[in-house]
Amino acid sequence: MVKGNLTVISDFIFLGFTDYPKVKVIIFVLCLLMYLITLLGNIILISITILDSHLHKPMYFFLSNLSFLDIWYTSSALTPMLANFVSGRNTISFSGCAVQMYFSLAMGSTECVLLSMMAYDRYVAICNPLRYPIIMNKSVCVQIATGSWVTGCLSALVETVSVLHQSLCGNSIINHFTCEILAVLKLVCVDTSRVQLIMLVISVLLLPMPMLLICISYAFILCNILSISSVDGRSKAFSTCTAHLTVVVLFYGTALSMYLKPSAVDSQEIDKFIALIYGGLTPMLNPIIYSLRNKEVKAAVKKLLIRNPLCVFLIPSNK
């Protein structure tokens, strides 16, 4: 990326939360806790889905993919900020900014597609239980997961390259705590209509479209659940789907408010806190929501921890 006078920019400066000096330490502590809990929770979830043969099912295969990308997602979003706070520096190199932007976009875009595929998985499991093992066989699950990752990575590459090839006008100060694409785009002094169009098309394909698929899937699921005569059966089906819907509302709600809000609404300070929610809070809550509301996961955790008595304090409560 170059300035208007073709001077090469080698570093960017983050403003971060400098407007809130009294709460900077609190924000750092909260972000550090979110990051550590995210790492621990998702690593445990990945481990038990690999080690417990009872969890070798499509649902947990997708859940492992979700946990893996959440680790990368929150690492790309929060690690540089935490490192800068500890070191007292608030700069990042051009290449570092490019890598950070790409990974954040790639993991976020992949999660958009993966969540919709998980909704389809729940639709097949509940509405076509007898054909479920045939429809969602191992080969299909691998193809769905691969397609989600490829879609997310390619779309992120297109967005990152299109933004970082623009010219600046002597400004390398990013009003954010990370190389968030919208914050970097504000530094561009040339016409950005083409870049904005590319971002709009990708955002529509990766946000409203997957959400529409999720809504359709759960509309069929709801109709099927209501037709179940057994109260216990309805309760189990609702419980299975509630966890996924909670994650969807948290993730898509913040992402939509960030990337598809009207252009007239522009509050960089609000965007920072929204970025903390979908970059830190949501990845932290994913393993907690799935494990606390899933009896199979809790049983697998208990079996794993019984083999390792030193970790017995981590056993979730049955209450």
The predicted pLDDT at position 187 comes to: 83
pLDDT: which is higher, 8 or 194: 194
The pLDDT of 153-157, averaged and rounded, is 94
Residue 179: alpha-carbon gap to chain centroid: 16
Q: Give the H or E element holding residue 216.
A: helix 208-226
Average pLDDT, the chain: 80
State mean pLDDT over 54-77: 88
pTM score? 0.83
Distances from the Cα of 63 to the Cαs of 37, 58, 247, in angstroms?
17, 8, 12
Residue 180 has pLDDT above 90, yes or no: no
Residue located via tokens 């946990």: 67
Q: What is the pLDDT of residue 7?
A: 47
Mean pLDDT of 41-47: 87
pLDDT digits (tens, 9 = 90+) for 110-129: 988 998 998 899 889 888 88
Give the contacts of 92 (CB within 8 A, at least 6 positions apart).
Answer: 11, 12, 14, 80, 84, 100, 179
Query: How far is Cα 199 from Cα 196, in angstroms, rounded to an integer?
Result: 5
Q: Residue 312 above 50 pLDDT?
A: no
What class, spelled out in words, does domain 11-260+269-292 have in CATH? mainly alpha
